[in-house]
Structure 1
Amino acid sequence: MTVIPHEFPATPVARLSRRQLLIAIAVAVMVAAGVLFVVKQAMRPSALEYAYEVCKLSSSSGARLADAGSTLILDTQGEDDLTGMDYLDLYCVSAALDMPTSVMTQIEQTRAMDGRVSGTWDGLSASWSYHPDSGLDLMVTAE
């Protein structure tokens, strides 16, 4: 008796059509681009960190970053203070943060009797007070 080997049919290999392959590649590219965008956004400094760096501020100049870069605190020199930032630094910060003229004008015109004043723009909020003896105390917070 002769045994004839039985051939089994080859198992079908899953094959993607050209269209399915192009769609899969397009989806992979879009996912990779989305991940790259998120990573770049996470690594980008906040607007407040950018202003701090670009204006070359430091704690010794009367400026400090707080709350993981979401708060910038500025203290200008008053008549009785020996320390504090210069008003030119304040103008640098206002330009770096794209502060509207309306808010900067409010800051410039604040008097000691006005108490604490505030303003908002482009996802940032600022509050400040002024006294000739102690200068301007300004806090800018990212919302």
Structure 2
Amino acid sequence: MTEPTAPTDPAAPQHAPHQAPTPAKKPRKLLIIGTITAVLLVAAAAITIPLLIANNGRAEAIPNAADKCLNPMTYRLLDNGSAIHHPGHGPDSQGSAQPQDINCLLTALGASEATITTIWQTQTTDGTRETTWDGYRAQWSYSPEDENLDLLLQQTN
């Protein structure tokens, strides 16, 4: 026979079977690692996305400036649009741009007024000249007598 059990008093302290305490540090450690990972991913995106956008715009800079400023008959794009050549045959010939068109191109690509002035002040005896600015290199020769400007512009980075 079984002995009757004593009724339990609801106010008496209940003793649960022995349980191991759950470690509180493990979820906290995972939270810290997850937070650090999220911050690093956001920072990487914040740096990478503007660079990609800027580089894409830069890749199109010369073709866009040429479309805006020059007659298509007056230039040739080179190296997938990272360079342009204006062969210069004088302003009265079919394949040459006017000085204001060349100024427009140079200005659109960020050349300073001093650079533009230097190009137009070149003399025949100066031969081929060269200058650089903000990611571009220009090489040119100019003959003021017949207004013949031979210009090569290239992206340098």
Shared fold (TM-score, shorter chain, > 0.5): yes
Q: Which moved more, 1:90-99 or 1:21-30?
A: 21-30
| % identical equivalent positions | 29
Q: Which has the higher contact order (CA 8 A, sep 6+)?
A: 1
Mapped pair 1:32 → 2:42: no
Which digits, 9 at most, give the CA deviation of each residue in 1:9-49, with x for residues without a partner? xxxxx745433322122122223334433432442243423
| CA 1:122–1:113: 2 relative to 1, 3 Å | same
Which residue of the other structure, out of 56, 60, 71, is the alignment partner of 2:83? 71
Which digits, 9 at most, give the CA deviation of each residue in 1:43-66, with x for residues without a partner? 2243423422332x3431x12221
Question: 1:135, 1:20 → 2: CA distance?
Answer: 65
Question: 2:91, 2:76 → 1: CA distance?
Answer: 21
User: 2:152 aligns to what?
Assistant: 139
**Superposition RMSD on alpha carbons, in Å?**
2.8
Question: 1:134, 1:76 → 2: CA distance?
Answer: 8
Name stretches of at least 5 consecutive residues in structure 1 with no aligned partner.
1-13
Q: TM-score, normalised by structure 1?
A: 0.71
Alignment of 1:33-112 (within 5 A): 33-46=46-59, 47-55=61-69, 57-60=70-73, 62-78=74-90, 81-112=93-124
Q: How many residue pairs align between the two structures?
A: 130
Question: 1:49, 1:79 → 2: CA distance?
Answer: 22
Secondary structure at the residue paired with 1:44? Answer: helix
Name stretches of at least 5 consecutive residues in structure 2 with no aligned partner.
1-25
Q: TM-score, normalised by structure 2?
A: 0.66
